[in-house]
Chains A and B, each alone.
Chain A
Amino acid sequence: MTNDVMVIGEHFQGALSQITLELLGKARELAGQLDGKVEAVLLGHGVEPLAAELGAADRLSIADHPLLEHFVPETYEAVIAQRIKQAGPRLVLLGSTSVGLDLIGPLSVRAAVPCFDNCTSLQVREGRVVAISQLYGGKIFAEYAVPETTALVAVVPGSFPAEPGKAAGAPEVLRLAAPPAPRTTFRKLIEPPPGDVDVSKVPLLVAVGRGIQNADNIPLAEELAETLGGAVCASRPVIDQGWLPLTRQVGKSGVTVKPKLYLALGISGAPEHVEGMKQSELIIAVNTDAKAPIFGLAHYGAVADAVEIIPLLTEQIRAASG
């Protein structure tokens, strides 16, 4: 095993994902402390242009093949497992994302290495790599030492700054072998339906969660949003119930927003939701549970029934807006 830190790169529709820069920056820091090198691994088809953005790595392993054009878990996993076995890095960092989450399990088994998910902190302390993962919907953190073998760690997007990952450089380039014929094939990409508001561009957001209780209360939230001159967005359960369209979902599998105001109504603050809204300028949360993790993140909070507060707030805002 080496002391190297490997980063599994991600890209979507021709653009490098933010998480990859966040991981590269962290990898630089860790590799410095462990006295190892940073290796970025990039899989795709026609991905060469993205290499220019991976200057923070010492080494860049590229697999470029038509079968890798779209993310097909099995195909990606086979190529990466091979590279991990060959290179034997101390750490392999992935995003806890739609890509990384499909890879860590099969990779952990195939490369016979441990894996950890939901990581939000990684540090070297006295030669040990100590990590923290967020569990139980953000209510509990677990601290553990990453075993001193090769280990896979999936990191929650937004946990580390992207800036340190943007360093310029000229990494040595390695070519990885073409993948085997997969049992999984890509059929098509389905784009979000056009026409709905893009909540990532709306400065004032009224966000509703399961605490909104039922579909009948959605119009109340819409009225509040309209009075504010903003829009309604939601956590996953609200979308799953079909109360609002998928385009309104904020979080890991939804959109990432950075509004001037994020009014979180009946949202617990689960990590998968938080990663999509934590950079909001002002977060005000209303929740009946004083221990809801959203209060750890919000600037202002009120322990109250959101369904009761919404119409009262609409009234107040109407009065104040004149």
Chain B
Amino acid sequence: MKIAVLIKQVPDLVEGLEIDASGKALDQDSLRYIISEADDHALEQALLIRERTGASVDVFALDVGEARDSLTTALAKGAERVTLVAAGLEAAPGSHALAELFAGVLRPQNFDLILTGVRAIDDLDGSLGGLLAGLLELPYVGLIRKVETGPGGETAIVQKEFPGGFITELEVKLPAVLGIQSAEQPPRYVPVSRLRQVMKTAKIGEQAVEPPQAQPIAVERLFKPEEGAGASMLEGTPEELAKQIAGLLAERHLLKG
């Protein structure tokens, strides 16, 4: 079985995000990129399937942000091959453009299973998995928390989440695209020593592709939630804060006794 994992770079929310002078895009200089959290889970899920079945795992990332670092980490975690897809883009494109690029790369390669994160924090025009499945005319299921392979590796048996802790189990004929929400276990950790070692020998494949045809979304304005709207802020030392919070609860008769 051949598994492809598609990973994407997104801004790290730990850094403050700034809007650029146009008012329509993020200021690229203010950003630090990391792997999208759900994509990290997709990689973990692929590695778990590999451990159970001996499947191969190929990882692909578009060449924006720190994609190279994420691919090196994927190698250190145990991916067979990693490929940087170079379309000459400065910033991450929309989901339709991304799906178009990956469809072109994946179509000739006959993967059995294509895994990606169900959604990323910058997805506006839908998410990669469903769009890619549409383009490749493959079945798609998202919000997945577990993937097992069926008899003879012909199908995938997946658990899909619904509100309130309900889960449905579906069986999908392969090839298929799956949108992973969470892997069966938290993404594995790579010790720094292992990462350093892999960095010395890492072979990152590169594939140049034409820029996408899909038009970017005409965002008219980006804005931040209104400052000062919302919470009254409490001030003081931790002890004082605890006292004030307890006071608020007492005032509202929310304390026992």
**Which residues of chain A have a CB within 8 Å of any CB of chain B?**
12, 70-74, 97-98, 101-110, 114-118, 130, 133, 135-145, 152, 154, 182-192, 204, 228-229, 236, 240-242, 246-247, 249, 252-256, 260-261, 263, 268, 282-286, 291, 293, 295-305, 308-309, 312-313, 315-317, 319-322
* Smallest CB-CB A-B distances: 10 pairs: A105-B130, A109-B134, A192-B165, A301-B231, A312-B242, A316-B246, A183-B173, A321-B257, A296-B230, A298-B231
Say yes or no: A137 contacts B121, CB within 8 Å: yes
- Interface SS, B side: mixed
- A5–B247 Cα distance when bound, in Å, is 49
Say yes or no: B238 contacts A136, CB within 8 Å: no
- A86–B219 Cα distance when bound, in Å, is 29
Say yes or no: B164 contacts A192, CB within 8 Å: yes
Say yes or no: B140 contacts A141, CB within 8 Å: no
- A192–B145 Cα distance when bound, in Å, is 14
The verdict on A252 contacting B163 (CB below 8 Å), with A183-B139, A297-B230 known, is: yes
Say yes or no: B141 contacts A102, CB within 8 Å: yes
Q: Which residues of A contact B245 (CB under 8 A)?
A: 263, 284, 300, 302, 309, 313, 316
The verdict on A256 contacting B134 (CB below 8 Å), with A184-B141, A187-B171 known, is: no
Residue-wise interface mask of B (59-74) relative to A, using a CB-CB cutoff of 8 A (1 in contact, 0 not): 0000000000000000
Closest CB-CB distance, B147 to chain A, in whole Å? 13
Closest CB-CB distance, A247 to chain B, in whole Å? 5
Interface status of B143 (Cβ within 8 A of chain A): yes
Closest CB-CB distance, B107 to chain A, in whole Å? 14
Closest-by-CB residue of B relative to A108 is B126
Give the contacts of B125-170 with A (CB-CB under 8 A).
Answer: 125-135, 139-143, 157, 159-170
Binds A, one of B12-20, B190-198, B203-211: B12-20
Say yes or no: A300 contacts B255, CB within 8 Å: no
- A249–B255 Cα distance when bound, in Å, is 24
Closest-by-CB residue of B relative to A255 is B164
Say yes or no: B232 contacts A73, CB within 8 Å: no
Pick the residue among B126, B157, B222 that contacts A105 (CB under 8 A). B126
The verdict on A118 contacting B123 (CB below 8 Å), with A98-B163, A255-B165, A309-B242 known, is: yes
- A152–B99 Cα distance when bound, in Å, is 17
- A143–B23 Cα distance when bound, in Å, is 11
Q: Which residues of B contact A98 (CB under 8 A)?
A: 142-143, 160-163
Say yes or no: A312 contacts B234, CB within 8 Å: no
Closest-by-CB residue of B relative to A295 is B231
Closest CB-CB distance, B233 to chain A, in whole Å? 5
Interface status of B181 (Cβ within 8 A of chain A): yes
Interface status of B200 (Cβ within 8 A of chain A): no
Residue in B13, B164, B182, B221 with the greatest tally of chain A CB atoms within 10 Å: B164
Say yes or no: B238 contacts A140, CB within 8 Å: no
- A240–B222 Cα distance when bound, in Å, is 31
Say yes or no: B13 contacts A301, CB within 8 Å: no
Say yes or no: A187 contacts B224, CB within 8 Å: no
Closest-by-CB residue of A relative to B161 is A253
- A114–B94 Cα distance when bound, in Å, is 12
Given pairs A105-B134, A320-B249, 11 additional interface contacts (CB within 8 A): A98-B142, A102-B130, A105-B128, A107-B134, A108-B126, A136-B13, A139-B13, A143-B221, A182-B139, A187-B171, A190-B169
Say yes or no: A143 contacts B182, CB within 8 Å: no
A–B Cβ pairs within 8 angstroms, 5 of them:
A105-B128, A190-B159, A295-B233, A309-B241, A320-B250
The verdict on A135 contacting B122 (CB below 8 Å), with A140-B17, A185-B170, A190-B169 known, is: yes
Q: Which residues of A contact B125 (CB under 8 A)?
A: 108, 114-117
Say yes or no: A249 contacts B219, CB within 8 Å: no
Pick the residue among A117, A182, A187, A303 that contacts B169 (CB under 8 A). A187
Closest CB-CB distance, A263 to chain B, in whole Å? 8
Closest-by-CB residue of B relative to A321 is B257
Closest CB-CB distance, A235 to chain B, in whole Å? 12
Residue in A73, A204, A315, A320 with the greatest tally of chain B CB atoms within 10 Å: A73
Interface status of B52 (Cβ within 8 A of chain A): no
Residue in B11, B13, B159 with the greatest tally of chain A CB atoms within 10 Å: B13
Pick the residue among A74, A137, A189, A313 that contacts B168 (CB under 8 A). A189
Pick the residue among A108, A187, A229, A315 that contacts B134 (CB under 8 A). A108
Say yes or no: B246 contacts A285, CB within 8 Å: no
- A298–B143 Cα distance when bound, in Å, is 28
Closest-by-CB residue of B relative to A106 is B134
Say yes or no: B224 contacts A139, CB within 8 Å: yes
